[in-house]
Amino acid sequence: MEKCNHDIIIVGAGLAGLRAAVAAAEVGNKLDIAVFSKHHPLRSHSVCAQGGTAAVMHEKDSFDLHAFDTVKGADYLADQDAVEFFVRRAPKEIVLTEHWGCPWSRTPDGKMNQRPFGGHTQPRACFAADMTGFHEMHAIYGKATTYSNIKFYDEWFVTSLIVENNTAIGLTAIEMTTGKLHAFTAKAIVMATGGHERIYEFTTFSHTTTGDGMAIAYRAGVPLEDMEFVQFHPTGLIPSGVLITEGARGEGGYLINANGERFMKRYAPERMELAPRDVISRAEQTEILEGRGLQGPYGPYIALNLTHLGEEKINERLPLIRDVAIKLGGVDPVKEPIPIRPAAHYSMGGIRINVKTETPIAGLYAAGECSCISVHGANRLGTNSTADCLVFGVVAGEEAARRALSTSLREVSKEKLLAEENRIAEILNREGSERISVIRDQMRRIMNEKVWIYRRGDQLESALKEIRELRKRFKDIKIEDKGKSFNTGFFSALQLDFMLELAEVTVASAIPRTESRGAHSRLDYPKRDDQNWLKHTLAYCTKDGPRLEYIPVTVTKWPPVARKY
Ligand SMILES: Cc1cc2nc3c(=O)[nH]c(=O)nc-3n(C[C@H](O)[C@H](O)[C@H](O)COP(=O)(O)OP(=O)(O)OC[C@H]3O[C@@H](n4cnc5c(N)ncnc54)[C@H](O)[C@@H]3O)c2cc1C
């Protein structure tokens, strides 16, 4: 196995990873920084972010308002110290990304334009039409490529972390063009590998969001926090699940059922279609379950109406949405409503970190969607994720740089590398009778049917049993292609292995939480239970499956009260 070293390794080149790289590079031009990505950085899911990035940018808004909206949206499970830090840092990121070339949309008098978004009581979403992530990513990637001390490892697949004496000292990665496994040592490592939404069947996320970094950190001994909280976005386009941004409702779009009724008036009379996502997704699911969905070739659905906005506004503010609806949904939103239903959209849970983005393993940091600080608690507000990636990407980059300047590299033991080499070779050589795609489809169906918006104890138990069965069957897969270069079948197997592990953690964390909070909605326990459950779940990896512990939520200014919209 070839060996190489860097001062800092960042795994992931989405918004969080790229922002961390730039922040680290700014700390010192002598630091040798590497950024790993399993595909080209501009193929990261961040490029798909549509509606906006939240930040307090005008006089009527305030940090306390943004923080309170976030805490209430989170159904009081967010750590309020982290939220307060987050809202204060977000505006600076908007200004910086603008300096680096992000074309933020403007008001006619040249000010930063901000659109309303679900759960935010002020128009707070800075946006670049409906392609916010695309423009942010291009601006930050452009900035990152100006530093000669940032080296990109594009199309390298990280397989494991090397941890000794509770310190992260390196990682292993496969160069996808050659299939060769390499070892890297580093003084600090930042995980920025994105979410795990692909454990579900109907999702807004890219095929690459398979949770690799969460599973890798979990296996290395870091707990995964609050994994039972998966966000369902109210408007996944039928049939693909591709997102129709909440910005469409922010611009005035509304939802109707089969009776032509704006049903949100029964669920969130004040905020209507701009209530938080958990509230609207539940409302849509209830409409469908009670027979008020419209009927289509792919089953019952809800209609999102934008026709009253007019062609000019749709073309200016929502050009991507129009294109997507025509090409992937067969409807032109200028002329008719868009068929949608809730889709798996965000992982509130992830690698446990503190406000400095440190994990419990020394030298290992995390930022972005793979992490849990927890700013988003039980339900994230729209536009808070890209802001979180930027704010905590900076913290991770700076903290990693500080550590790299004050520690030295450590030698990786030969046994550790041999063990990983053998593990990878064993998977590649599997000659069993199971097909990867069959197990993957079954996992996604189980998650969709039993670990969806409304959950029940008996269904969760049965899902856990079935996922564990699939994990056993995974041992008996057949890798048909044994080739070295871009062996996509083999990488699918590695990703499925990660996803099965995370599906198990998600379900196992959901079972004991006998309450309904944010995105975790239990039919058998319909009430929030602050007395017993105002706490975070931590899942630790053991050979018998996840072991759960609980830690308190940090409350600074806003004690929990009933959540109404
Ligand atoms: C369609 C859509 C629209 C959205 N719109 C918004 C919005 O308007 N506002 C908002 O705030 N949020 C939005 N979100 C959410 C937000 O975009 C994401 O949460 C955020 O961009 C995640 O960024 P990230 O940097 O954490 O990860 P990602 O952008 O997902 O990047 C992950 C990186 O990790 C790398 N990686 C993963 N595994 C490995 C491995 N094994 N080896 C090497 N590299 C690896 C990948 O190559 C990639 O570079 C949206 C999400 C979607 C899907």
For 417-454, how does the pLDDT look when each residue is reduced to its tens digit (9 = 90+)?
899 999 999 999 999 999 999 999 999 999 999 999 99
Q: Is the pLDDT of residue 415 over 90?
A: no
114-122: average pLDDT: 95
Contacts of 56 (CB under 8 A, 6+ apart): 62, 63, 65, 66, 87, 90, 91, 122, 124
**Angstrom distance (rounded) from CA 152 to CA 135:** 20
**Angstrom distance (rounded) from CA 98 to CA 100:** 5
Whole-number percent of the chain with pLDDT over 70: 100
The secondary structure element, H or E, covering residue 219 is: helix 212-219
Query: What's residue 407's pLDDT?
Result: 96
Q: Is the pLDDT of residue 3 over 80?
A: no
For 76-117, how does the pLDDT look when each residue is reduced to its tens digit (9 = 90+)?
999 999 999 999 999 999 999 999 999 999 999 999 999 999
Q: Is the beta carbon of 393 within 6 A of some atom in ligand 1?
A: no
Q: Where does the pLDDT of residue 512 fall: very low under 50, low under 70, confident under 90, or very high at 90 and above?
A: very high
CA distances from 121 to 65, 88, 127 (A): 8, 17, 17
Q: Is the pLDDT of residue 501 over 80?
A: yes
509-535: average pLDDT: 98
Query: What's residue 412's pLDDT?
Result: 87
**Angstrom distance (rounded) from CA 15 to CA 141:** 9
What is the average pLDDT score of the chain?
A: 97
Q: Which residue has its alpha carbon closest to ligand 1 atom 51? A: 49
Q: Is the pTM of this model over 0.85?
A: yes
Residue closest to 358 by CA, chosen among 366, 349, 350? 366
316-334: average pLDDT: 96
Whole-number percent of the chain with pLDDT over 90: 98
68 Cα to the center of ligand 1, angstroms:
25
Q: Is the beta carbon of 45 within 6 A of some atom in ligand 1?
A: yes
In b/e form, how buried is each residue of 324-352, taking b as 16+ CB within 10 angstroms?
bbeeebebebbeebbbbbbbbbbbbbbbb
Count CB atoms within 10 A of the CB of residue 232: 27
Q: Is the beta carbon of 158 within 6 A of some atom in ligand 1?
A: yes
Q: Is the pLDDT of residue 1 over 80?
A: no
For the CA of 243, the nearest atom of ligand 1: 1
**Angstrom distance (rounded) from CA 464 to CA 503:** 8
CA distances from 313 to 248, 332, 333 (A): 11, 14, 11
Query: What's residue 2's pLDDT?
Result: 74
**Angstrom distance (rounded) from CA 35 to CA 184:** 12
Query: What's residue 127's pLDDT?
Result: 96
Q: Which residue has its alpha carbon closest to ligand 1 atom 52? A: 49
Sign of the alpha-carbon dihedral angle for 336, 337, 340, 345: positive
**Angstrom distance (rounded) from CA 336 to CA 313:** 15
Judging by beta carbons within 10 Å of its beta carbon (0-12, 13-18, 19+), is residue 555 exposed, middle or buried?
A: middle
Output the DSSP codes for 178-209: TTEEEEEEEEEEEE-----GGGSSSBSS-TT-
Q: Is the beta carbon of 15 within 6 A of some atom in ligand 1?
A: yes
Residue closest to 15 by CA, chosen among 137, 104, 130, 99? 137
Query: What's residue 94's pLDDT?
Result: 98
For the CA of 156, the nearest atom of ligand 1: 43
Q: Is the beta carbon of 194 within 6 A of some atom in ligand 1?
A: yes
Q: Is the pLDDT of residue 267 over 90?
A: yes
For 469-483, how does the pLDDT look when each residue is reduced to its tens digit (9 = 90+)?
999 999 999 999 999
Pocket test for ligand 1, best of 10, 97, 124, 193 (most atoms within 8 A of CB): 193
Catalytic residues: 233, 249
For 371-414, how does the pLDDT look when each residue is reduced to its tens digit (9 = 90+)?
999 999 999 999 999 999 999 999 999 999 999 999 999 988 88
Token couple for 376? 């988003």
